[in-house]
Amino acid sequence: MEFIKQLFRNQFIWISVLSWFIAQAGKIFTNYFQTKEFDIGKLIGSGGMPSSHSALVMSLAVRIGRVFGFDSVHFAISMILSFIVMYDAAGVRRDAGKQAKAINMLFQHSDITFEEQLRELVGHTPIQVFAGAILGGIIACVI
């Protein structure tokens, strides 16, 4: 039972989750300004502005830096893993989304039937990743 209590008291988890949630909620508003449609589904979807993945990992890294020091091994590990996640969001996952879009277009113009379309919005632009990282860093400093 102590394990559960420790999880619920862990500031690193809660600040990271809060950053993720704020970024996800922000997607509703940025989508509204772009499309003039209020889409609550953006709260759980991937892709979009700002990157919630980036906000989550950067808030964790910054909080770890503030608690253990920016010269600690804890911060170094979390920052390197943050860079990997952000690179993946703007690189590999973004390319996967572009490939999904091309495949969906191919299936629309063929006789092959497909149960459902592939998800096209899975990655982020570098600006979306940067915005998420800044948001996460600010939240970790303010909370």
Residue numbers of the domain that contains 54: 2-142
Of 79 and 122, the structure prediction assigns the larger pLDDT to 79
CB 125 within 8 A of CB 94: yes
CB-based burial of residue 91 (10 Å sphere; 0-12 exposed, 13-18 middle, 19+ buried)?
middle
Q: Which residue type is seen at 74?
A: H
**pLDDT tens digits, 71-94:** 999 999 999 999 999 988 877 666
**pLDDT tens digits, 32-80:** 887 777 777 666 767 778 999 999 999 999 999 999 999 999 999 999 9
Give the predicted TM-score (pTM) of the model.
Answer: 0.79
Quote the pLDDT of residue 117: 66
Indicate the number of domains in the chain: 1
User: Hunting for tokens 């989550």 — which residue is that?
Assistant: 56
Token digits of residue 11: 């500031």
CB 46 within 8 A of CB 121: yes
